Amino acid sequence: MRAVEPLRIGVLGAARIAGAAIAAPARLTGTRLVAVAARDRGRAQTFADEHGVERVLGSYAELIADPEVEAVYNPLANSLHGPWNLAAVEAGKHVLTEKPSASDAAEARDARDAAAKAGVLLVEGFHYLYHPVAQRLLEIVASGEIGELRHVEVRMEMPAPPEGDPRWSLELAGGTVMDVGCYGLHLHRVLGRFAGGEPTVGAARGRERAGAPGVDEFMEIDLDFPAGPTGLVRTSMCADGLDFSCRVVGSRGEVGVPSFVLPHLDDRVLVTVDGEQRVEELGRRSSYTYQLEAFTEAVRTGRSIATGADDAVASAELVDAAYRAAGFPLRPRTVRPAG
């Protein structure tokens, strides 16, 4: 059996998340990080030295144009996901982007259409979905063990980032729904296959961050599925602690996952049926590693991938609907800066 050629990835920026989300998985999978570029070349060099990146380039544009780079990983600020994803796919590069893939649904559609025209993959980094914890959750619901789906509840709560963090900036497409709440909305969309289709936003209530006009620090989003089940996403960037849990309730029982987004911290799936509970442990290998393997396979073999460009558009539409329902402005689009 012929070995698969290692994927050659270029990294846009030296964001903190890139260490866990691409550098560590690359080491484990044999993926080549062939280049990195950042606004501060010194930061790029430090990142390259720490993570074994082969070359440091002078700008994002130079990285995207580099012929050795066949795929781009984009962990930039939210407002720069859309414009640089678009630039990369227009240059014929596959893209793995941190979520959210764009500032709004219109921008997500532009990137999707460009990727289709160029014949490249655009994959949004909802990494949790590739982990055995999430896959087992879906298997249990699909099996009918907990009965018919009745309700889904997701909490995406975290302590406040420091003042001045990009997540508190409307211009940088910040806010709790953009940062962590989108995971809860995405899981509802994934579960829609058991509830008649895509969920819609019924109502939403949010609180604006003091001193950050238009930026949500807290939001509750009510969701409705076509077949009747209901959903709730509670998302916060001002909580006392971390809670990235989900609860899926059926007519006979329920499934709870204490840490569905970060299963390397807690890999338990809690199943309760007819009053009896069991605990399954699915392994603490990083969800980012599973995601990189799926991305590489999709690039190399053409196999479909769950969080591709069409999925990204549907997620962006649901995010936009949540903001509208809560009375918040949509995140503004950013014109791609030079370099």
3-state secondary structure 228-257: CCEEEEEEECCCCCCEEEEEEEECCEEEEE
Note the pLDDT tens digit of each residue in 100-126. Answer: 999 999 999 999 999 999 999 999 999
Whole-number percent of the chain with pLDDT over 70:
98
H or E stretch including 8? Answer: strand 8-12
Do 195 and 209 lie in one domain? The reply is yes
Average pLDDT, the chain: 96
Whole-number percent of the chain with pLDDT over 90:
97
pLDDT score recorded for residue 189? 98
Q: Report whether 308 contacts 191 (CB < 8 A).
A: no
Note the pLDDT tens digit of each residue in 181-208. Answer: 999 999 999 999 999 999 999 999 999 9
pLDDT score recorded for residue 1? 35
Do 115 and 38 lie in one domain? The reply is yes
Do 150 and 219 lie in one domain? The reply is yes
337 pLDDT higher than 80: no
pLDDT score recorded for residue 335? 82
pLDDT band at 338 (very low <50, low <70, confident <90, very high): low
221 pLDDT higher than 50: yes
Do 220 and 156 lie in one domain? The reply is yes
Do 136 and 262 lie in one domain? The reply is yes
| Domain membership flag for residue 40 | yes
Note the pLDDT tens digit of each residue in 24-80. Answer: 999 999 999 999 999 999 999 999 999 999 999 999 999 999 999 999 999 999 999
Domain that holds residue 316: 8-126+289-326
Q: How many domains does the chain have?
A: 2
Do 296 and 241 lie in one domain? The reply is no
The whole-angstrom separation of Cα 207 and Cα 332 is 19
279 pLDDT higher than 60: yes
- Average pLDDT, integer, range 87-110: 98
Do 83 and 188 lie in one domain? The reply is no
Note the pLDDT tens digit of each residue in 226-262. Answer: 999 999 999 999 999 999 999 999 999 999 999 999 9
pLDDT band at 2 (very low <50, low <70, confident <90, very high): very low
Note the pLDDT tens digit of each residue in 293-311. Answer: 999 999 999 999 999 999 9
| Strands across the sheet containing 200-208 | 200-208, 216-224, 230-236, 149-157, 243-250, 253-257, 268-273, 276-281
Chain position carrying tokens 């089940």: 229
State if pTM tops 0.95: yes
Task: Quote the DSSP letter at residue 102.
Answer: S
Q: Report whether 9 contacts 26 (CB < 8 A).
A: yes
Which has the minimum average pLDDT: 14-28, 297-311, 324-338? Answer: 324-338
Do 213 and 166 lie in one domain? The reply is yes
Going from the C-alpha of 138 to that of each of 200, 220, 223, the distances in angstroms are: 20, 24, 19
| Domain membership flag for residue 138 | yes
Do 293 and 280 lie in one domain? The reply is no
Computed over its alpha carbons, how large is the radius of gyration of the chain? 20
| Domain membership flag for residue 339 | no
Q: Report whether 288 contacts 168 (CB < 8 A).
A: no
Chain position carrying tokens 């809670």: 243
